[in-house]
Structure 1
Amino acid sequence: MQQKVVLITGGSSGIGKSIGLYLQSEGLKVYGTTRSLSKYPDFESFELLELEVTDPDSIALAVRKVLDNEGRIDVLVNNAGVGITGPIEETPHEEIQKAFDINFNGPLHLAKAVLPQMRRQESGLIINITSIAGAMGLPYRGIYSATKGALDLVSEALRIEVKDFGIRIATLAPGDFATNIAAGRYHAPIENESPYAEPYANTLKMINEDVDSAGDPILVAKEVFEIINTNTPKVHYKVGDAMQKLSVFIKGILPDKIYEKLIVRHYKL
């Protein structure tokens, strides 16, 4: 059987690196990407390419390198993303646009770059890493929720559009996992005179505590491997602790106002 070639964005750390290491251990040929290759001079886990997900020219160059080396791309894992927190009213709009450029537009740029080759191959798989947070509007994470929710919906549409070419699309929504995502997350500053200061500070503390106590991202990597080896993948997958996955199910069956009360109670707002 021909070795599958996988391209993973945001592969230098966190969930992306875990995915790359696990897939490589299972015999797949892995290429990861990072915004700045110079920051990882000793990276030897798998081949790392420089790629900026907001720059179509950078994407085209990285995709071309993989195709020149391997002649095909079997799997694209759109993992690169950025966190953002803050009261929506006080979050600078340039930061909102940046979050959408990375979390939503970036995966679309990558998909557009690999789809022509996948059509030529008459096969391919794109896994868009979304988030359980994308299934609901979370307080002080509303922009992040919106970027991931939008990626979920566009994946549903893209899946239908490309199905006749032998190309499969799926989303994988992780809950909280122990990664360094907080270090790169944009936080709207907590201003003492802000009417949101106290509830925002308390919510941010809860968010960080949840990440610090979260599970091993290897669970996400194993789920990606399972999807790759599924002939007919589902539209959406979730991975995380039971309560986080249950929260999505509950949202689908409860009246909106009751679910809203549960969110308010959870965050003590």
Structure 2
Amino acid sequence: MPEQKVVVITGASSGIGEATAGLLAQNGYRVFGGARDPKRAKSISGVRFGTLDVTDDASVASFVDWVLSEAGRIDILINNAGVSLAGPVEHTSIAEATRVFDVNVFGPLRMIRAVLPSMRSERSGLIINISSVLGFLPAPFMGIYASTKHALEGMSESLDHEIRDFNVRVILMEPTFTNTNLDVNAANTEAPLGVYASQAEATMKTILAQIKSAPAPILVAEKILVALKSPYKMRQPVGGQATLLSRLRRFMPAKAVDGSLRKTFGFGKAPSS
């Protein structure tokens, strides 16, 4: 019988992380889930939880050391932990932006730095970074969140070239809106909306409606499971809408994409330049 693949999932106590942990455990993977407070995580058969704060170097090192002491290796890292932020870019403080980057970009970087020595030693490994369609598309009033996903995509593509010779690869999962607490309960910038109030409120209402009717996290989990069993492909849009958006971004004229996005987010016709 083949030895179980060892999987580490960050942000595994809710949303996409929780759904993925459960599905992979059901399918024979040995799953270690990271959570800031494991006591608050719902018990999942076949999943072991440990304390993990991806914004803390010592916490990341301790968690990875624990997994390696228990399992001897890490075959798959799924960087899922994330936070969101809504509000005008102009009204976003540096401190607010830094908090989002610390979780969404530097968190994966900390985890990657911690697991790569083991993966390179084994000359085998896979890193799956949970990105978003906002990793290749803009989103008004979600500019900092979109920026983190654009940064994650750039880092992932660069990293894949660096580690490929060690038989370690990187995959980008690109879901569209998913019905999770992360999206429904996104933090807002602290500064008043001011001149942006009318458009920001209309846009966020549109986005919230899309989130509430969006697919459940299990759709992303199922895509991850398929990716683990299929030939390698770096960019993996999740679901029909994400796949369509990915194709439109690549093949539609920029002006058409711009107009379509403004319509989707409830903006009026763009002024002539």
Q: Same fold (TM over 0.5)?
A: yes
Q: How far apart, in 2, do the equivalents of 1:184 and 1:74 lie?
A: 32
CA shift at 1:184, angstroms? 4.8
Give the partner amino acid of 1:212. Answer: K
Q: Which residues in structure 2 correspond to 1:150-229 (within 5 Å)?
A: 150-182=151-183, 184-189=185-190, 191=192, 194-229=194-229
Equivalent pair of 1:190/1:197 in contact (CA under 8 Å) = no
Which residue in the other structure is 2:245 paired with?
Answer: 247
What SS does the aligned partner of 1:54 have? coil
CA shift at 1:244, angstroms? 3.5
Q: How far apart, in 1, do the equivalents of 2:21 and 2:129 lie?
A: 15
What SS does the aligned partner of 1:195 have? helix
Give the partner amino acid of 1:35. Answer: R
**2:233 matched to 1:234?**
yes
Equivalent pair of 2:206/2:266 in contact (CA under 8 Å) = no
What SS does the aligned partner of 1:88 have? coil
What SS does the aligned partner of 1:90 have? coil
Q: How far apart, in 2, do the equivalents of 1:96 and 1:110 lie?
A: 20
CA shift at 1:104, angstroms? 0.7
When normalised by structure 2's length, the TM-score is: 0.92
Q: For residues 101-143 of structure 1, give each alpha carbon's deviation from its aligned partner in whole angstroms, at most 9, with x where no partner exists.
A: 1101110110110000001111011000000111111111111
When normalised by structure 1's length, the TM-score is: 0.94
CA shift at 1:185, angstroms? 2.0
Match among 258, 261, 268 for residue 259 of structure 2 = 261
CA shift at 1:162, angstroms? 0.5
Which residue in the other structure is 1:115 paired with?
Answer: 116
User: Cα 1:184–1:58, aligned 2, differ >3 Å: closer, same or farther?
Assistant: farther
What SS does the aligned partner of 1:72 have? coil
CA shift at 1:56, angstroms? 1.4
Q: How far apart, in 2, do the equivalents of 1:109 and 1:48 lie?
A: 19
Q: How far apart, in 1, do the equivalents of 2:40 and 2:95 lie?
A: 26
Give the partner amino acid of 1:218. Answer: I
Q: For residues 217-249 of structure 1, give each alpha carbon's deviation from its aligned partner in whole angstroms, at most 9, with x where no partner exists.
A: 21111111122223x411110103x23331221
Q: Which moved further from structure 2: 16-25 or 214-223?
A: 214-223
Q: How far apart, in 2, do the equivalents of 1:15 and 1:62 lie?
A: 20
Segments of 5+ residues of structure 2 without an aligned counterpart are: 268-273
What SS does the aligned partner of 2:223 have? helix
Segments of 5+ residues of structure 1 without an aligned counterpart are: none
Q: How far apart, in 1, do the equivalents of 2:127 and 2:207 lie?
A: 29
